[in-house]
Amino acid sequence: MFTLEAFLPSMSTQRTEALDVERIREDFPILGRDVGGDIETPGAGPEDDTPLVYLDNGATSQTPERVIDAISTYYREYNSNVHRGVHHLSMEASFAYEAAHDRLADFIGASGAEEIVFIRNTTEAMNLIAYSWGLKELGPGDEVVLTEMEHHASLVTWQQIAKKTGADVRYIAIDEDGRLDMDHARELIGPDTEMVSVVHVSNVLGTINPIAELADLAHEHDSYVFADGAQAVPNRPVDVGELDVDFYAFSGHKMCGPTGIGVLYGREDLLEAIDPFLFGGDMIRKVDFEDATWNELPWKFEAGTPPIAEGIALAEATDYIDEIGMEAIQRHETDLVEYAMARLEEFDDIKIYGPPRGEDRSGVVSFNLEGVHAHDLASIMNDDAVAIRAGDHCTQPLHEKLGTAASARASFYLYNTKEEVDTLVEAIDSARQLFA
């Protein structure tokens, strides 16, 4: 059984003690494997003894044993559909699934489970609000304000909704260090603004955006705020009440949880007023041959068989990272990104994107090695069992703004170490010598 004491000496020292990373790593089976072998047969075995260095957490984090066990226990012991039966297994599954909503509401400071909708991922959450609210409420002359650092989940979704409704999409500029130009934000957000959709933490730049300040600007003009928290919730405390957002979304697979599960937070009054996005079983109250009425929140938005095992496992993942301590995880990531940037800055041929070292930023470092395409760099680093990301990271317009088609990205989490950062730098040097 996981206990906080296994990681930190006591609750009272959590704010000052460093994470026991070596102990934490024991909870993640995949971190103990070597990389190699036949990629067409996953887990077939290594060709050599090269231990995995996993630095692609911005795409997907790894999963601790207890979360894997939560999924296995559901399927082994009480696999059944929810809200559909009066037999014991169905009631047991329903209780656990509903409790998961309560747990996630508590985790992000929502008022209750009514404000927590389980969906597949952050992208689906964005589409749910864009189609359920945007198609009905937006029209010619209305504006949706985004930022130049938006993930395609936000940018493409609102772009397409604007085409369907005649609304305009406008973008808050970023400065040369990858921070939002808040003067420009104050110019853009005005009486015609209906929605401000902004990423909380950039998945490329590591920039942490001032969501509460943007929410104040939006609410001054009676517009709504949707924050994409996919890169924020896994590694820093988030309270939707303090941020004063109307909608907030994040994905389970970036926070030690399973794939196929995400969370949409919405203010209860707004979710009550919005029509469902999907229709079918369990989201209805009454149906006849002419019409239908909708179920209570949040089930109104969870049509069909929902992600039961995934929701239960996400609650377990939430317990796991909460017991370690979100402040401790944030501090650990900050230490790692500071160390990584300091190491990378030792070389004149590496360009780092985003706010400079020493400023508040997330555990993401995107960079390019002069003369080496990011994809080539990632491929060479894979030979040293270092897993990073390469490409546009679903931010093509941002990369165009940065003047590059792609970047390499190392992203850190609670189980990464400074020794792994050193291995990253050594692998970059291998690529440098190969292309010299």
Indicate the pTM of the whole model: 0.93
CATH 3.90.1150.10 corresponds to the domain 4-63+325-434: yes
CA dist 179 → 147, 325, 330 (Å): 10, 27, 20
Question: DSSP letter string over 365-392?
Answer: EEEEETTS-HHHHHHHHHHTTEE-EEE-
DSSP bridge partners of 180: 174
Tell me how far apart the alpha carbons of residues 152 and 32 are, in angstroms, rounded to a whole number. 34
391: left (phi over 0), alpha (psi -120 to 50) or beta: left
Tell me how far apart the alpha carbons of residues 282 and 260 are, in angstroms, rounded to a whole number. 19
The continuous run of DSSP H or E covering 123 comes out as helix 122-129
CA-based nearest residue to 119, from 285, 318, 259 = 259
370 phi, psi to nearest 5 deg: -55, 130
**Cβ–Cβ under 8 Å, residues 202 and 209:** yes
DSSP bridge partners of 134: none
CA atoms within 13 A on the CB side of 345: 11
In the chain, what are the domain boundaries? 4-63+325-434, 69-322
Class of domain 69-322: alpha beta
Residue 194: predicted pLDDT? 98
**CA dihedral sign, ordered 229, 357, 408, 158:** positive
Tell me how far apart the alpha carbons of residues 421 and 337 are, in angstroms, rounded to a whole number. 9
Radius of gyration of the chain (CA): 22
pLDDT digit string (tens) for the chain, length 436 residues: 333 333 333 333 334 468 999 999 999 999 999 987 556 666 555 456 789 999 999 999 999 999 999 999 999 999 999 997 889 999 999 999 999 999 999 999 999 999 999 999 999 999 999 999 999 999 999 999 999 999 999 999 999 999 999 999 999 999 999 999 999 999 999 999 999 999 999 999 999 999 999 999 999 999 999 999 999 999 999 999 999 999 999 999 999 999 999 999 999 999 999 999 899 999 999 999 999 999 999 999 999 999 999 999 999 999 999 999 999 999 999 999 999 999 999 999 999 999 999 888 999 999 999 999 999 999 999 999 999 999 999 999 999 999 999 999 999 999 999 999 999 999 999 999 988 7
Residue 324: predicted pLDDT? 97
Active site residue 394: yes
Environment class of residue 21 by beta-carbon count within 10 Å: exposed (0-12), middle (13-18) or buried (19+)? Answer: middle
Tell me how far apart the alpha carbons of residues 213 and 196 are, in angstroms, rounded to a whole number. 12
Residue 17: predicted pLDDT? 64
Residue 40: predicted pLDDT? 63
Residues 6, 212, 270, 394: which is the catalytic one?
A: 394
Residue 350: predicted pLDDT? 98
